[in-house]
């Protein structure tokens, strides 16, 4: 394929310390030149892409994604998730293992990676199951899973509730420097809940879970991580109390990290409105005070990464009474745009946002991606932060359409996505 020269772009790569107008040259699948002078190293036969002042950054690294494959292909397949990811500027997805069957054996890890390669548009980094079948009863063969390519271990949207088993797991994982990812929610408190415990939940008559359910699980696992020196990551942090515990543990030097999802810094519990099932999520949407605390966690760096928390559901999962509807929302296409709201309102700079979406997830997962450094793989996202678009459920890329942001006007249009130097998405003029 021809070399590609991006011109008239704002290059942003926090990992390399780059934030400046310039040019970038791609040859084959690698970045071979950054901010080249007009005549130096510029092939005569290259394709020239004029960014017209748009942002060129590394492809997004989404570290928390559920897909329907294997077992729930009617909700979504890897191919349809890859389509949505490309439209959202995402070039790498870390896939949760709570599928059917669960990703608890090395052959399934290998299969998922191969399916990602087959799309030619997204890399799949599989998480291995923490327990057999993600059922929380028996430790999975996590070291073998890591040898097969699993990047960490989790039971997905289920917390590992058995304290003794979690201690054994952390001791085992610390022996080979494995990463444990926890869904921080005490399952006995969260069982059958639909909303956060509040006046609103009471008024709507919904079974609810106290925010303490998150803090209780975080406090337990922080103590175990301190005892074992295990690498520990908490997914989708959503409460002020949980965040404060993580902030304190980081100050003590514990080997921990955490992410949140756009819904938890952009929406609050009022979004469920009159039983709006698209806004039924796990964990549930929280109070405005919690939302503001999550925003502060992004600002002060307590939160390391933003992940889509993409969880596809079909119509039959959502067209039910609120208490019976399945939790979950799509997030691949809206990940960048909802994050850019935090840039528009002054909470984050663009480089900070891109760190949370690209560089930091790559660092936590120990992947040599998420950078524009010379010699790195040309996974790229070109976007215009000043153009807006409207979210329309039913018309989004990919199969899953259950978005809590339906009808919202969002900033930031992805103009193009490149995977290993190949263009995998081009924005069509509307």
Highest mean pLDDT among 64-78, 229-243, 309-323 belongs to 229-243
Task: Judge whether residue 168 has pLDDT over 70.
Answer: yes
In angstroms, the CA 160 to CA 166 distance is 7
Enumerate the CATH 2.30.40.10 domain ranges in the chain, comma separated: 4-56+377-388+410-426
Report d(CA 112, CA 103) in Å as an integer.
9
Q: What is the pLDDT of residues 16-74, one digit of tens each?
A: 999 999 999 999 999 998 875 544 556 778 899 999 999 999 999 999 999 989 999 99
Phi and psi for 321 in degrees, rounded to 5? -55, 145
The bridge status of strand 55-58 relative to strand 4-13 is: parallel
Q: pLDDT tens digits for 340-394?
A: 999 999 999 999 999 999 999 999 999 999 999 999 999 999 999 999 999 999 9
Ranges of beta strands (E only) in 238-379 are: 256-260, 305-306
User: Which string of b and e fits 260-296 if b means at least 16 CB within 10 Å?
Assistant: bbbbbbbbbbebbeebebbbbbbbbbbbeebbebbbb
In angstroms, the CA 245 to CA 161 distance is: 19
Least confident of 35-49, 172-186, 274-288: 35-49
309 is catalytic: yes
Cα 284 to Cα 31, 45, 253, distances in angstroms: 41, 53, 30
Nearest residue to 61 via CA among 95, 27, 31, 32: 95
pLDDT at 76: 94
Burial of 253 (0-12, 13-18, 19+ CB in 10 A): exposed
- Set 186, 309, 317, 379: catalytic member: 309
pLDDT attached to residue 40: 55
Which run of H or E residues covers position 315? Answer: helix 315-318
Tell me which fold the domain 59-364 belongs to.
Answer: TIM Barrel (3.20.20)
Q: For the chain, give every residue range classified as CATH 3.20.20.140.
A: 59-364
CA–CA dist 5, 320 (Å, integer): 51
Can you tell me the mean pLDDT for 162-180? 97
Q: Report pLDDT for 36.
A: 59
Confidence at residue 106, expressed as pLDDT on a 0 to 100 scale: 97
The fold of the 4-56+377-388+410-426 domain, in CATH, is Urease, subunit C; domain 1 (2.30.40)
Q: How large a percentage of the chain has pLDDT more than 70?
A: 98
What is the pTM (predicted TM-score) of this model? Answer: 0.96
With cut-offs at 50, 70 and 90, classify the pLDDT of residue 209: very high
């Amino acid at each position: 394929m021809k070399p590609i020269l991006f011109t008239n772009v704002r290059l942003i790569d926090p990992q390399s310390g780059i934030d400046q107008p310039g040019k970038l040259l791609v040859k084959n699948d690698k970045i071979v030149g950054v901010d080249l002078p007009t005549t130096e190293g510029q092939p005569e036969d290259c394709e020239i892409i004029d960014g017209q002042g748009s942002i060129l950054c590394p492809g997004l690294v989404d570290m928390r994604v559920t897909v329907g494959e294997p077992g729930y292909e009617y909700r979504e397949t890897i191919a349809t998730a890859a389509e949505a990811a490309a439209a959202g500027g995402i070039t790498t997805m870390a896939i949760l293992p709570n599928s059917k069957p669960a990703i608890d054996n090395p052959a399934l890890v290998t299969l998922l990676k191969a399916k990602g390669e087959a799309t030619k548009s997204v890399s799949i980094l599989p998480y291995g199951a923490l327990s057999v079948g993600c059922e929380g009863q028996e430790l999975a063969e996590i070291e073998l899973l890591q040898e097969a390519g699993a990047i960490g271990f989790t039971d997905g949207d289920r917390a590992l509730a058995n304290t003794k088993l979690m201690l054994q797991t952390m001791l085992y994982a610390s022996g080979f420097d494995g990463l444990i990812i926890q869904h921080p929610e005490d399952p006995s408190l969260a069982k059958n809940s639909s909303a956060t415990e509040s006046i609103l939940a009471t008024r709507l008559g919904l079974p609810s879970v106290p925010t303490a359910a998150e803090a209780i699980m975080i406090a337990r696992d922080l103590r175990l991580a301190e005892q074992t020196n295990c690498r520990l990551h908490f997914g989708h942090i959503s409460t002020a109390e949980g965040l404060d515990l993580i902030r304190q543990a980081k100050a003590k030097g514990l080997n921990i990290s955490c992410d949140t999802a756009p819904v938890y810094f952009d929406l609050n519990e009022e979004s469920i409105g009159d039983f709006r099932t698209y806004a039924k999520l796990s964990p549930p949407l929280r109070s405005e005070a919690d939302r503001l605390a999550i925003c502060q966690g992004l600002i002060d760096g307590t939160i390391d990464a933003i992940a889509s928390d993409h969880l596809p559901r079909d119509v039959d999962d959502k067209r039910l009474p609120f208490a019976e509807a399945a939790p979950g929302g799509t997030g691949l296409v809206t990940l960048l745009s909802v994050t850019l709201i935090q840039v528009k309102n002054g909470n984050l700079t663009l480089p900070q946002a891109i760190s949370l979406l690209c560089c930091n997830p790559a660092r936590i997962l120990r992947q040599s991606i998420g950078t524009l450094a010379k010699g790195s793989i040309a996974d790229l996202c070109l976007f215009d932060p000043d153009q807006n678009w409207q979210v329309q459920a039913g018309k989004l890329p990919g199969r899953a359409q259950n978005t809590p942001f339906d009808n919202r006007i969002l900033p930031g249009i992805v103009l193009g996505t490149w995977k290993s130097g190949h263009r995998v998405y081009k924005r069509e003029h509307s």
